[in-house]
Structures are given as C-alpha cells and as structure tokens.
Amino acid sequence: MSANLQVSDRFDQVTSSKGFDLEHRRKINFNMGRYHAAVQAGQKDYRDPELARDQAAYLKWQAVESLEKHLLRFESACRTNGAKVVWAADANDALEAVLEVVRRHKTRLVVKSKSMATEEIHLNDFLEKNGVEVVETDLGEYIQQLDGEPPYHIVTPAMHKSKEDVAALFHRKLGTDPNASPEALTNHARALLRDRYVEAGVGITGANFLLADTGGVCVTENEGNARMSTTFTKAHVVIAGIEKVLGSMDDLDLLWPLLAAKGTGQQMTAYNTIFHGPRRENESDGPQEMVVILLDNGRTRLLEDPQTRQALHCIRCGACLNACPVYKNIGGHSYGATYSGPIGKVITPHLQDFDQYQHLSQASSLCGSCTEVCPVRIPLHQMILQNRHQAAMGPGASKAQHWVWKAWSRAMLHRPLLDIVGPRTKSWFMGRFVGSLWGSRRTLPAPAPRSFRSLWRQRTNPPNR
C-alpha cells in the first residue's frame, strides 16, 4: 500500500508540473506535427486503409489465439536454422541468458539496437553492473544514453529534445560545436559508432516479429544500426516478447508497411531484415552464434483474460501515443513506466503490480483517439475503462470513494434530497469534499442561488395564477 502511494504520488507530482511546462509542450507539438503530416501523406498508398486495419487485426488475433502452437513451431524452425532458443519466464531469466553469452564470448563491449524489451528488463543497468559496456546504436537511444535518460517515446526516443538541446548535449559530452546541425550531429555519432560495431563481441537486438513458419526474427529500423550490430559481432542475441510471433512470413506483406505507415508515416522502413540463424557454412560473414530469448515477464497474465489478451496484438508502432491528448501534455517520462501512452496504461498494471500502476488508467479523458488510430484495432479506451473497473472492484479500491459515489447516486436519483439544503451548504460541501480533486488551477463553480427545478416550477406555474 505504501508503494502504491509512492508511485501514484510521484505521478501526481510530475504531471502537475509537466502538464504546464509550455516549453515541453512546444517541442512536442512541433515533433508531433511533423509526425502527423507524414502519416497523413502516407495514407495515399492505401486504397482502403480501414481494410488494412481489419486484416492486420485479424492476423494478430489469429497469431495470439494460437500463441502456444506458433511459439513451438518457431522454436523448432529456429533451431533448424542453427539458432539457440531460450525461454525466459521473467526478466531475471532473460538477463542471465544474455550474461551467459557475453561471458562465453569474453567481451566487455556490447552494441545494442533499439529494443523496448531490453528497456523493460533493464538490461543496460544489469550488464554495466557486471562490468560490460553497452552502447546504444540507434541515434535517438544514443542521445538518451548520453543524457542518462530512459527513452521518452517507444518509437522516437528523443522526441522531447529540440535540435538545440541535442547540440548542447553533444557539446557537453563529446565536445562538438555547440551550434551543430542535426546533420553534423548525426555524422559525428556515425563516425564514433563505426569503430564500436567492429570492437563489440556481442550484438543485441529486439524483434518486431517472429515467424513461426521459417523461424525468422524480423527487425525493422531506418538507420542500419541493427544491420551493423549483427554483421561484425561474434554473437547475435535477440530479446523478443512472446507475443511477437506471426503464423507466416507472408503476413509481413501487410504488417511491414502498416508498422511503417503508423510508426513514422513511411511506406516502408529503410531496413526490414529477417534473421534465420547465425552465419551458414556457405556464407561469407556474420555472427557464429545466434540466441533468441523468448520473454514472458507478465505477458501470459495479459493472455489469461480474453479482454486483456487484445493488448498482446500491439505491434508497438507508437500511433496511440502520438494521438493521445494526455501524452502530448504530460510527456512520456511522467508515466514512470517502460511503455507509456495509452498502450502503457493498459498493459503496465498487468505486467507489473496492478494496484501500483492502475492510477495510469485514471489519467485518461477516454476520448478514444487511441482506438481510432490503432492499426490492429485494439479497443484501447475500453481497456482503460476495464482497468478502472477492475480497480474499483478490487481489494485496493478506496473505501472513501466507494461511499462518495454511493451518496452521489442516492442524491441524484432522489431529487428532493438535493433541495433540502440551500446553495451555500452545497457550495461548502463541494468545496470540502470535491475541491481538492478539482485542482488548484481551476475554480470550482458555485451552485446557482436557485435550482433549475425551482426556476422551472415557477415558469410553468406562475405564482399569481
């Protein structure tokens, strides 16, 4: 219960300052504006965008309904391809598996391409504690790592930074020109990271999709850093959530374009790569070993209930974050969770501790924009409501709230009860019990001197008649 208070209190504190940070809002609006323009322009590639969503929703539904079967098929195909498969029931299993590979290859340097699953298990901290340096190679993640911050957004990690912020950061940490352009900064990072790809013993990636039919691991990226991280290293380690598996390679014909369209507004992301094991005998280069870690870490809890199961259809495109009016105002860090935005509100309480994180579902206007943009049609706003329902019915529910609602519904259903007291008493009552919830930035409206009911009665039955 005390942990419960800490997490939600922190959320209250952070959001009540972040929500009014105009500089933050300006940067986000600028970056989001560019995203929305690109996505809008990308719509022209689709004859029927709604059909694309229907088909994608169906594909992911099918895949998750047969999750066990698909994972076993994937495992067997993956082994035939010469890769090792490790099942991780929780974060600890996954961390130990990574460390085992790193130790075996006697390396002190790991290059990593962008992966939310590795953020979820706090892989970097763990490896650093074990004396292994981890270099983030995606530019956005590299910026965040330099700044000592977690990613702000699941697709665009440094979305909250202006180009001036990044130039200042690079100047401070790397000694570049304080007024360097995005192009100069990118080139600088490119040059620094080139050597690291060759030095590193192990390359770590996430996975956007796993293919049950071919044992393929699919990685989508624009920069080429995942390609570089899996070219020179001795081992390629993949950390993939178990929900990533698809029935067939052919499903990518729709899901690759759709992930791009919703993630960045591109028709296709620059590099869509499928890995089928380590370097083969007849091949000229590539890692000698590939290990695929299948991560549960709470996902089977989401799977249990057919309602929450739908959250496992998510392809992590980030569209719901970009559509969310709450996200745009409080920003990605305020959530205090690996997965932010609407999808984060839905899954975090189930992946972690429900009572500790259910408050995220309360911080929603339920406007439904997230549901409207989701490429796989996850009913996000309904699932947020469902979390609220579970919280209200669960053991962690507040007794005081229960009684307030009870009294409220009784009063609303028995109109005469409301008229027993005058407007000044009502005003005092509201101020006393609702005022703190209303917040210090809004003024609680005072009840009118006369109620609508009495005004109406006067109008229909004038006293002089």
Partner 1 sequence: MALSSRETVIQRLRKALIHPSDPPLRVRPEQAAEGPFEPLEEDLALAFAKRLLQLKGQFVYAETQAELATYLTKALEGVDNRHLFCLEPEIQDLLRKSGLPYRVDTERMEEAGVGVTGCEALIAWSGSVMVSSAQAYGRTLTVYPPIHWVVARSSQLVPRLKDAFGLLRQRYSDQNYPSMVSTITGPSRTADIEKTLVLGAHGPRELWVFLLEDEANDNS
Q: Which of residues 368-387 bind partner 1 (CB under 8 A)?
A: 377
Regarding 333 and contact with partner 1 (CB under 8 A), the answer is no
* 8 Å CB contact between 305 and 252: no
- What is the nearest approach in angstroms of partner 1 to the Cβ of residue 96? 10
Regarding 150 and contact with partner 1 (CB under 8 A), the answer is no
Residues 208-227 close enough to bind partner 1 by CB under 8 A: 213-216, 222-225, 227
Q: What is the DSSP string of 14-32?
A: HHHHHTT-HHHHHHHHHHH
Identity of the residue, 306 or 449, whose beta carbon is nearer to partner 1 in the bound complex: 306
SS3 (DSSP) at 271: strand
Regarding 49 and contact with partner 1 (CB under 8 A), the answer is yes
- What is the nearest approach in angstroms of partner 1 to the Cβ of residue 214? 6
Residue from 101, 252, 315, 383 that binds partner 1 (CB under 8 A)?
252
Residues 58-87 close enough to bind partner 1 by CB under 8 A: 58, 61-62, 65, 67-68, 71-72, 77, 80-82, 86-87
For tokens 């440094």, what's the residue?
A: 158
Identity of the residue, 183 or 399, whose beta carbon is nearer to partner 1 in the bound complex: 183
CA 83/CA 232 separation, integer angstroms: 17
Regarding 338 and contact with partner 1 (CB under 8 A), the answer is no
- What is the nearest approach in angstroms of partner 1 to the Cβ of residue 158? 6
CA 215/CA 248 separation, integer angstroms: 9
* 8 Å CB contact between 215 and 74: yes
* 8 Å CB contact between 265 and 318: no
Identity of the residue, 55 or 329, whose beta carbon is nearer to partner 1 in the bound complex: 55
Regarding 46 and contact with partner 1 (CB under 8 A), the answer is yes
- What is the nearest approach in angstroms of partner 1 to the Cβ of residue 366? 20
Looking only at the bridges linking them, the beta strands covering 289-295 and 235-241 are parallel
Cα diameter, the chain: 104
Regarding 161 and contact with partner 1 (CB under 8 A), the answer is yes
Residue from 100, 125, 177, 304 that binds partner 1 (CB under 8 A)?
304
- What is the nearest approach in angstroms of partner 1 to the Cβ of residue 29? 12
Residue from 63, 95, 134, 139 that binds partner 1 (CB under 8 A)?
139
Regarding 177 and contact with partner 1 (CB under 8 A), the answer is no
* Count of positions (residues) in the chain: 465
> Closest by alpha carbon to 138, among 45, 222, 235?
222
> Closest by alpha carbon to 224, among 180, 270, 284, 257?
270
Question: Looking at the DSSP assignment, which residues form a beta bridge with residue 245?
Answer: 210
Measuring CA to CA, how many Å separate 17 from each of 13, 20, 165? 7, 6, 20
- What is the nearest approach in angstroms of partner 1 to the Cβ of residue 94? 9
* 8 Å CB contact between 278 and 286: yes
Contacts with partner 1 by CB under 8 A: the residue count is: 106
> Closest by alpha carbon to 335, among 352, 319, 359?
359
Residue from 204, 228, 237, 347 that binds partner 1 (CB under 8 A)?
228
- What is the nearest approach in angstroms of partner 1 to the Cβ of residue 183? 5
- What is the nearest approach in angstroms of partner 1 to the Cβ of residue 295? 9
Regarding 110 and contact with partner 1 (CB under 8 A), the answer is no
Regarding 190 and contact with partner 1 (CB under 8 A), the answer is yes
Residue 214 is encoded by which pair of tokens?
């071919």
Residue from 2, 23, 175, 283 that binds partner 1 (CB under 8 A)?
283
Identity of the residue, 7 or 94, whose beta carbon is nearer to partner 1 in the bound complex: 94
> Closest by alpha carbon to 105, among 12, 204, 4, 234?
234
The 8-class DSSP code of residue 443 comes to: P
Identity of the residue, 56 or 132, whose beta carbon is nearer to partner 1 in the bound complex: 56
Residue from 270, 411, 444, 448 that binds partner 1 (CB under 8 A)?
270
* 8 Å CB contact between 203 and 172: no
